[in-house]
Amino acid sequence: MREARHRHNGVPLNSAQYAMALDYLEFDYSEDEEGTGTWDAMASVRAERVPALAGEIEALLRWASQKFAGRQGALEDGNDWDYDLQAQDDDGQPLSARFDRAAGRLELEASATGRTTVSLCLSGSTQFGDALRQAFDLEA
């Protein structure tokens, strides 16, 4: 696990800045011929770890919603970023996973038994990708 950073380039972070290390989400990156980046991550945790995983996803989606306010939606419609969030239990049964953009909160249902598996797919413009990599210390 990576240690969370509280400074960026020696400067303390304020509430408007993020440089959060991700402990649960490891993204695979791909890019299409038009330069649209896609980051795919999947995490599977036991019930006691669901709040920590949810917090990580919430922080990421809150950051994107604030930094790129009003620009979330289908990229082919001119937006800068979009996401797909899904959750399921060990048997493959869907679990509720919903990000409330207005409140900046993630509601994530935990599996009653076994593990909760969450998949998150982010897609975005070059500008979104550059900001995402810097904010969450992601590799290209």
Whether residue 12 lies inside any domain: the answer is no
pLDDT of residue 16: 44
Question: CA quadruple 34, 35, 39, 40: dihedral positive or negative?
Answer: positive
Q: What is the mean pLDDT of the chain?
A: 86
Would 18 be classed as within a structural domain? no
**pLDDT tens per residue across span 59-110:** 999 999 999 999 999 999 999 999 999 999 999 999 999 999 999 999 999 9
Q: What is the pLDDT of residue 45?
A: 97
Residue 140 is predicted with a pLDDT of: 63
CA dist., res. 133 & res. 106, Å (int): 21
Q: What is the pLDDT of residues 107-122, one digit of tens each?
A: 999 999 899 999 999 9
Q: Is residue 20 one of the residues assigned to a domain?
A: no
Q: Looking at residue 15, what is its pLDDT?
A: 38
96 falls within a domain = yes
Q: How many domains does the chain have?
A: 1
Which is higher by pLDDT, 15 or 104?
Answer: 104
b/e burial code for range 49-86 (CB count within 10 A of at least 16 → b): bbeebbebbbbbbbbbbebbeebbeebeeebbbbbebe
What's the predicted TM-score (pTM) here? Answer: 0.83
Please give the backbone phi and psi of residue 128, each rounded to the nearest 5 degrees, phi first.
-60, -45
Which residues does 48 contact at the CB level (< 8 Å), separation at least 6? none
Q: Which domain holds residue 47?
A: 30-136
Residue 74's closest CA among 31, 29, 127, 124?
124
Domain-located, residue 102: yes
